[in-house]
Amino acid sequence: MNPPPIARRPNPIATLHRLARRPVEREACEFCSLSLPPSHRHLVEVAAHRIVCACDACALRFDNVIGRWKLIPRDSRRIDSFRMTDAQWESLSLPIGLAFFSLSTATGKVTAMYPSPAGATESLVPLSNWAALVEQNVALAQMQPDVEALLVNRLKERREYFLAAIDTCYELVGIVRLHWRGFSGGDRVWDELDRFFERLRGSASPQLEVSRAGEVAHA
């Protein structure tokens, strides 16, 4: 009877060389399959709330077009002098001082999404609560349904408010999901959140302010 063959241990160096030869997966345009650079445009499928990648040529076909797809804007804007009391925030019953609020044209409802280790968690916002915020902050009337959101940062005693592109908000969700460790998240996730908002502050423009006449003014 022949002895069983001796199993060969995998060569770790050979494995690394094999992985290095594999082509790096790159994102492709949802519409024409063109390979995309790291920085590219996104669209949202309105009914399904699905975000897809697009090349510039395909993305611009949907600019200012009403239909199945909406082009997500590139820029986020900071809202100065935003009015929201601690009591109003607490009435939303969100477990973390970080959330974004968006209006869906498909449902006509406003939802609050907050990042968690499992991804984005949804909480329905009573329309009366949202109407009160809009009445106090006329800039919210400029928020584009489906593709923009009110992004609220109340972490570490901060009070920051942005009209942010919806893909930027989901980038925030991805940061929390990727870096959260243990019960409290660990130092890494809080450092990454600090870096995210530092970048957002640097790029968010123009600022939005509410004028004395109650109109939106661009600083």
* Mean pLDDT score, 94-113: 92
For 152, the enclosing helix (H) or strand (E) is: strand 148-153
Which has more confidence, 32 or 219? Answer: 32
| Per-residue CA distances from 58 to 51, 69, 139 (Å) | 14, 11, 30
Q: Tell me, yes or no, whether 82 and 183 share the same domain.
A: yes
| pLDDT band (50, 70, 90) for residue 25 | low
Quick one: 29 and 132 in the same domain?
no
Evaluate whether residue 173 is within a structural domain: yes
pLDDT of residue 26: 77
Residue type, 156: K
46 lies in the same domain as 134: no
**If you ran DSSP here, which 8-state letter would residue 73 be given?**
P
pLDDT, average across residues 134-160: 93
Q: Phi/psi of residue 113, each to 5°?
A: -120, 135
Same domain for 185 and 90: yes
Q: In this model, does residue 83 exceed pLDDT 60?
A: yes
Average pLDDT, stretch 196-212? 76
Does residue 54 lie in a domain region?
yes
d(CA 175, CA 153): 15
Task: Note down the domain range covering 81.
Answer: 77-218
Asked if residue 103 is part of any domain, the answer here is yes
Distance, C-alpha 166 to centroid of its chain: 5
**CB 4, CB 27: distance < 8 Å:** no
Q: pLDDT band at residue 204, thresholds of 50, 70 and 90?
A: confident
What is the arithmetic mean of pLDDT over 58-69?
90
First to last CA, the chain: 87
Q: Do 52 and 129 fall into the same domain?
A: no
Is 61 a domain residue? yes
How far is 171 from 148, CA to CA, in rounded Å? 13
Residue 65 lies in a domain: yes
Instruction: Single out the residue of 145, 144, 152, 80 nearest to residue 115, CA to CA.
Output: 152
Predicted confidence band at 183 (pLDDT cuts at 50, 70, 90)? confident
Query: Rounded to 5 degrees, what angle do the CA atoms 45, 51, 56 make?
Result: 95
Quick one: 132 and 180 in the same domain? Answer: yes
Paired tokens of 137: 């902050």
Rounded to 5 degrees, φ, ψ at 60 are -70, -15
CA 53-201-116 angle, 5° bins: 60
Looking at the 3D structure of the chain, how many domains does it have? 2
| Same domain (yes/no): 188, 212 | yes
Q: Which amino acid belongs to residue 174?
A: G
Q: Is 208 in the same domain as 128?
A: yes
**Residue whose tokens read 């109109």:** 215
Looking at residues 163-180, what average pLDDT do you find?
94
Which pLDDT score is estimated for 156? 87
